[in-house]
Amino acid sequence: MSEPAQTAPAASKFVDLLPRVASAAALVAAALLTLIAGGDLFALFWLAAAFAIFWEWQTLIAAERRSLRVAAGLVGLLGAAACLRLGVPVWSAVTVGLLAVVAAILAGSGRRLWAAGGALYAGVLLLSVILLRQSPDLGTLAIAWLFAIVWGSDIFAYFGGRLIGGPKLWPRVSAGKTWSGTITGLVCGAALGLAVARMGAGVALAPAALLGLFLAALSQIGDLFESAVKRRFGVKDSSRLIPGHGGVMDRLDGFIFACGFAALFGVLRDHASAAAGLFLW
């Protein structure tokens, strides 16, 4: 009679995990499908993600006139996305900068820098991901490469930490992260990124591998950054938008850091094509 009593908790845990697994699968599928589709559908998907992040951030900091800040965020991010789609990325960056100023003014004293920071945080995601995807020839590969690096780093860091254990990385900021998990995530994320980069014609693999390792480290830093922000304001999750996963910030913190740097690095190397600046040496 003891066997059913022992299996019941395991079955209950499995049922509890179903919403988490289903929402994660849906997000991955949506990200990949819109990546393949490209164009306005891709831009709309990431505009929605950027606006969700802006809303979560402005809600989290508990500053004045939240509704006005959120409305300004919707208008500003729409304008930034439109400028990108029209081929004027400079005006897109200017629009995000103006949004940061407006958010700061509306937030009132004591939260101005935090409000402006949320605008820049969401704006960096929107500008970088669309800019990379719009790159001729290699845009799709660049985003798929980033997905592989960030997702691989996140997943393998979790399992590496659980299986190996050991000293904590930074317990004051993130109680669960270990050195073993971090190193496992860095190596595996870079390796998965390299596997994706090999699919591209003319890609210089050695620079792509080194850059992938650096971006995997940046994604881990992005995760720590978001943990520090949430700890600063005393919240566990940025919101409850994603069942079992918290908020959009919780899912995209590492991707924002990695994608933002990748776009900047690519543009500095090749003004015409950010993705080419990443892969062609």
Q: Residues 216-250: pLDDT tens digits?
A: 999 999 999 999 999 999 998 888 888 777 899 99
> Is the pLDDT reported for residue 16 higher than 80?
no
Q: Are 53 and 248 in contact (CB under 8 A)?
A: yes
pTM: 0.91
pLDDT of res. 3? 47
Annotate 133-196 with DSSP letters as a single string: HTSTTTHHHHHHHHHHHHHHHHHHHHHHHHHH--SEEETTTEEEEEHHHHHHHHHHHHHHHHHH
| Calculated CA dihedral for residues 240, 24, 222, 59, nearest 10 degrees | -20
> Is the pLDDT reported for residue 193 higher than 80?
yes
